[in-house]
Structure 1
Amino acid sequence: MTALALALLLVLGAGGCTPQKKGSAGILYRVTGGKSDLYLLGSIHVGSEDMYPMGQHILDAMEAADVLAFECDTASAQAQAAYQELMHCPEGDTLESRVSADTYALVRQAAQKAGYRMDSLNTLKPWAVMSMLNTEAVAATLEARGTKASAALGVEEQVRKLGGGKPEAWLEDTRAELEVLDCLSPALQESLLRYTCCVIINPDSATGMDAVIDRWPDWWRMGDAEAFARAYLDGMAAEPDQDLAREYHAALVTERNMRMARQMAQWLEGENTCFVTLGLLHLVLSGDSVLSCLEEMGYTVERILPENV
């Protein structure tokens, strides 16, 4: 899968900031029509200091919320138990037995460069190794492009810092999110793993959305939802194996849109105003988004922009 592994950063929602006169536009929506309102902020998991501060319209929405919601809880003991259970191969099975010799050689080369031990990785399923190495692939791509963007400045991290201790809620159970990856076909898992390893070994091999990852912070700062959508769709159209591309999109985007929209509908009919931060690809694809799902349920969705736009 030539360009989809790093794009997981936009669908699987993961320092000091230099003030500027004008806050970022971001990608923010308000959903109404229930007992309570809901705010949706599109997140990217890499960011730059130029993205902050967030625009006042985002800060006001956050202040109006009773609850801050995110995609899933990754830190609890229950979440860690799910990781341990689902990421590891069954006894007697190994990564080496699940992928081709060529792919395993790529994993070995990438692991050596990234500082991972093969005896540890060999106990994991292909999707789990891809997930672990993805951080290294992102770092390698950003470094190759000379950008100062980093995961520490991602949107979700900044929302948490600004949250003021408000209660948190989750769109998805950690196990359910991991099961999405665990249920990907062996061919797709191996393709994603190969691509991730290739990017670590040679960052210039990144394609599609990943090739423009250094532009993500500027697009977010300007609120350019169309740029994200266009880059993703162009990358999908260029995938050499369209069957795998369709499988990826259905599992990671479309089906999760529907599940998350059902959870949002429950919050909309509750007593609390929620501010939800989620991967922005769930917001920006016309007709294939959480927003379109909510509209089909009868809710009203509107984009919130800075006053001076």
Structure 2
Amino acid sequence: MKKISTLLLSLFLVTAAFSSVQAAEKPSSIRLNGEQIQFGASEPILENGVTLVPMRPILEKLDIEVNWDEATQTARGAKEGLSFSLQIGSANAMANNQGVQLEVAPKLIRNVTYVPLRFIAETVGYQVGWNPSLRQVTLTSKQQSEGGRGFLWKIENKGNTVYLLGSIHVADESMYPLRPEIENAFTAADDLSVEVDLSTIDPVDIQKQIVELGIYNDGTTLKDHISVETYTKLTAFLKTKGMPEHSFDKFKPWLVNTQLSNLNAANDGLKPGMGIDEYLIEKANKAGKPIISLESADSNYKLNNGFSDALQERLLLLNLDPNSVVPPAPDVSAEYLARIWKEGNYDALAESTQSSGWDAEYYKGLLTNRDLAMAEKIKAYLNSDKQQTHMVVVGFSHMLGDYGIVRTLEKEGFKAEKQ
């Protein structure tokens, strides 16, 4: 089963929020182009959120030529025209002839030199990823990953600039590195706007909201709210996953569907912790760039919970047996959505967005109402007298369509240019 509803961001918010607060003393693994790096007896450590690794093994793995100055305790590395230098005990470093302030200085631990992994890898051209749920660092070379193009527009008005990036909430290493136009837009922006700032979500509040909205508390169970046929398909699906057939009996259909969507996304190798929006949120936090939430986690849960019982069951069937859905729903897999994002296929994006209209209630709740509300906030950016640059990152399904953000702004007279 490889189906995933583009609707259900809520579980991805839940998963990402829970995983982001799972503190760890050290990363569980570091992978280079998919292969785990072995460090022997000297394991990587985590200090103030910075992964430090033994210097010599990582430089060898990354094929970095190194010159060590014993007198000054300084290491100078170079690879394919890229270079760095750093000194034990000093937070002042050089990256490609530019001064850099390290968050954690290199240090000696039991006669082993430890250096900040991200600084080393990014300086010589590797894409660095972090999966909080697995506590896994990934290093991807440019040769290994073509990255993704995504969907990017630029709108200007009254001295203000808005970059609109259509995001994908679950991703994998192949989505990175982002193309320079996206990275440059982020650098130019005074702030970052996203659907929900995942870094500010309290998992305790999430648990409370899920219990209040997604769990039956009236003595009924899932069997009382969906057909026998749908429940039978659910239990069969759970058996294929090695899960007890009554695992979700206390959940409402929308919450069951978010769980299935997450399972299916994981089967496709896609992870919430690697989503484009989460990557940029993390980057904004490190840069001290303000982050603005256009929506709230609470609004997503209420949206899902507010759908009629009939629609909730049909959305559940999309993950269990899409051919049984009446009226017929679009056949859109997680792999397909990821592929069109990587390709930056605007025609496929428009077609995919339009196909979401297979159910009027679904389309209005998922897209129309939310798109119009977000478009109003973006219009305020464009009509401001502050003359600022903003980067807005929301799911790509919100961009096009009859009431999509881009189309709505164009109808208001703004000119959106593809980047």
TM-score bucket (shorter structure): 0.7 to 0.9
Partner of 1:18: 140
Q: Are 1:168 and 2:287 counterparts?
A: no
1:189 Cα shift?
A: 0.4
CA separation in 2, counterparts of 1:34 and 1:115? 58
Partner of 2:398: 282
Partner of 1:133: 260
CA separation in 1, counterparts of 2:142 and 2:368? 37
CA contact (8 A) 2:191 2:292 kept: yes
Q: Which moved more, 1:170-179 or 1:126-135?
A: 170-179
1:100 Cα shift?
A: 1.1
1:78 Cα shift?
A: 4.1
Partner of 1:197: 320
Higher strand share: 2
Larger Rg: 2
Q: Partner letter of residue 66 of structure 1?
A: D
Q: Are 1:53 and 2:177 counterparts?
A: yes
1:95 Cα shift?
A: 1.4
Show structure 2 runs of 5+ residues with no match: 14-128, 130-137, 323-328
Partner of 1:249: 363
1:182 Cα shift?
A: 1.4
Within 5 A, what are the aligned runs for 1:1-309?
5-8=4-7, 15=129, 16-20=138-142, 24-33=148-157, 36-73=160-197, 75-76=201-202, 77-114=204-241, 116=243, 121-140=248-267, 142=268, 150-163=271-284, 164-165=286-287, 166-198=289-321, 208-210=331-333, 213-233=334-354, 242=358, 245-269=359-383, 271=386, 273-285=389-401, 287-304=402-419
Q: Partner letter of residue 394 of structure 2?
A: L
1:186 Cα shift?
A: 1.0
1:187 Cα shift?
A: 0.9
CA separation in 1, counterparts of 2:400 and 2:206? 28
Show structure 1 runs of 5+ residues with no match: 143-147, 200-205, 305-309
CA contact (8 A) 1:44 1:155 kept: yes
CA contact (8 A) 2:10 2:301 kept: no
Partner of 1:307: none
Q: Partner letter of residue 153 of structure 2?
A: Y
CA contact (8 A) 2:4 2:264 kept: no
SS of the residue 2:195 aligns to: strand
Q: Supply the RMSD in Å over aligned alpha carbons.
A: 3.2
CA separation in 2, counterparts of 1:190 and 1:35? 48
Q: Partner letter of residue 295 of structure 1?
A: E
CA separation in 2, counterparts of 1:12 and 1:303? 31
1:54 Cα shift?
A: 1.0
CA separation in 2, counterparts of 1:11 and 1:56? 30
Q: Partner letter of residue 279 of structure 1?
A: G
CA separation in 2, counterparts of 1:138 and 1:215? 12
Q: Partner letter of residue 209 of structure 2?
A: A
Q: Partner letter of residue 157 of structure 2?
A: G
Taking only the aligned residue pairs, the percentage that are identical comes to 28
Q: Partner letter of residue 300 of structure 1?
A: K
Q: What do the CA deviations read for 1:215-264 (whole angstroms, capped 9, x no partner)?
A: 4444323321212332454x558xxxx5xx22212221122111111222
TM-score with structure 2 setting the length: 0.59
CA separation in 2, counterparts of 1:49 and 1:106? 33
| Counterparts in 2 of 1:296 and 1:260: CA distance versus 1, 3 Å | same
Q: Partner letter of residue 213 of structure 2?
A: L
Partner of 2:86: none
1:86 Cα shift?
A: 1.4
Q: Partner letter of residue 6 of structure 1?
A: S
Q: What do the CA deviations read for 1:181-217 (whole angstroms, capped 9, x no partner)?
A: 1121211100111222347xxxxxx96111xx32444
Q: Partner letter of residue 410 of structure 2?
A: E
CA separation in 1, counterparts of 2:345 and 2:216? 41
SS of the residue 2:150 aligns to: coil
CA contact (8 A) 1:13 1:278 kept: no
Which structure would you say has the larger RCO, counting Cα contacts within 8 Å and 6 or more residues apart? 1
Q: Partner letter of residue 248 of structure 1?
A: Y
Aligned residues: 281
| Counterparts in 2 of 1:225 and 1:101: CA distance versus 1, 3 Å | same
CA contact (8 A) 2:150 2:165 kept: yes
Higher helix share: 1
Q: Partner letter of residue 158 of structure 1?
A: Y
